[in-house]
Copies of this chain bind each other. A is one copy, B any other.
């Protein structure tokens, strides 16, 4: 099916990122859905055949099986409504399942959403919950948190390739710069390499400003089968590639500085799309930690193995660079509401391709974009390719 649209996005919605005190997950979901339906008045809730909802952790709101209640409260009557969970990539997984649903022929119109309300608990509880994302006997029990695992990856990358802490910091500086021009982003604050270098140590060599912040958010996409796209939208964006792959938990792997799951997901997605990585006009990558973006450059073939740090400091992935990465501000500066992050990436690519982002961070003339969503430290990855018509 090379190059054939798998499905089309005809609308998208996103709640504002940040600490949304007094609001729970369902309120954020409603906020995202309100924007989605406002942007596409020709579709009503009764037209929708199914909802996929990514949520990383049920413990933040002490509530499992959220999808049916959320769906029926919003006004979708009795449709299949399914939670999918792959921690940080739950949003990417939600998108993939929506695509499969449409390809199956059983659904014509699907909402793929993601949500996470993270700030209603104290920090200790939040860290305890997030530790569920790592392997229990060998990671959790040895204190190997996600920060620690990614610090290990960073250290090994520095040792093997001479990557510097300043190069990692360059990722944070760029993404904060982009978030300045994204009115829905959480951390809209210009930072310098020096700010990152002098910020509090989290797990050497990663410092506070190398890490993405917890926050609250929901986001949603409206997917239709390709033949319906023009009926409902003047400017549909096609999804032409979808790749998904898994791997062992981090501690069981020998290779620390490259993620097989990303490489396999990329391969599937590009092969389906008939595009090469050089065809991409912009990419949103998983940057929960700055090292993740550096490794993603390499795994997505934006540069040679080991050259990710140099690419970061070269400016090539900046908004006016050769291949802009994380124009939204990324998870790093826009915020990382676990279950929502993957859909948030697609929200950015969709809005860039339809030309609806703030002018300061718009990639002019962009026609093809990519998202890269990752669960845990390379435990799974999803890569999607989007194209305007």
Contacts and interface: CB of A to CB of B under 8 A. Distances in A.
Nearest to A243: B80
Nearest to A245: B78
Given A78-B246, A82-B84, A97-B97, A64 B133 contact: yes
A334 interface: no
A160 interface: no
B133 A245 contact: no
Copies in the complex: 2
Interface of A: 1, 24, 56-59, 61-65, 67-69, 71-73, 76, 78-87, 93, 96-97, 99-101, 103-106, 131-133, 135-136, 140, 242, 244-249, 252, 260-261, 264, 375-376, 379-380
B68 A380 contact: yes
Contact of A65 (B24, B62, B252, B380): B380
A68 B375 CA distance: 9
A63 B132 contact: yes
Q: Considering the complex of A and B, which 5 residue pairs feature the smallest CB-CB distances, nearest first?
A: A68-B246, A103-B104, A80-B244, A72-B248, A81-B246
A136 B106 contact: no
Given A82-B84, A84-B83, A58 B59 contact: yes
Most buried by B among A131, A140, A242, A380: A380
Secondary structure type dominating chain A contacts: mixed
A64 B57 contact: yes
Contact of A97 (B61, B82, B260): B82
A81 B380 contact: yes
Contact of A103 (B80, B97, B106): B106
A265 to B, nearest CB: 9
Contacts of A264: 78
9 contacts: A56-B64, A58-B85, A62-B140, A63-B132, A68-B247, A68-B248, A71-B246, A82-B84, A99-B104
A72 B247 contact: yes
Contacts of A260: 78
Contacts of A69: 135, 248-249, 252, 379
B65 A376 contact: yes
Contacts of A376: 65, 68
B101 A62 contact: no
Given A64-B132, A65-B376, A248-B73, A106 B100 contact: yes
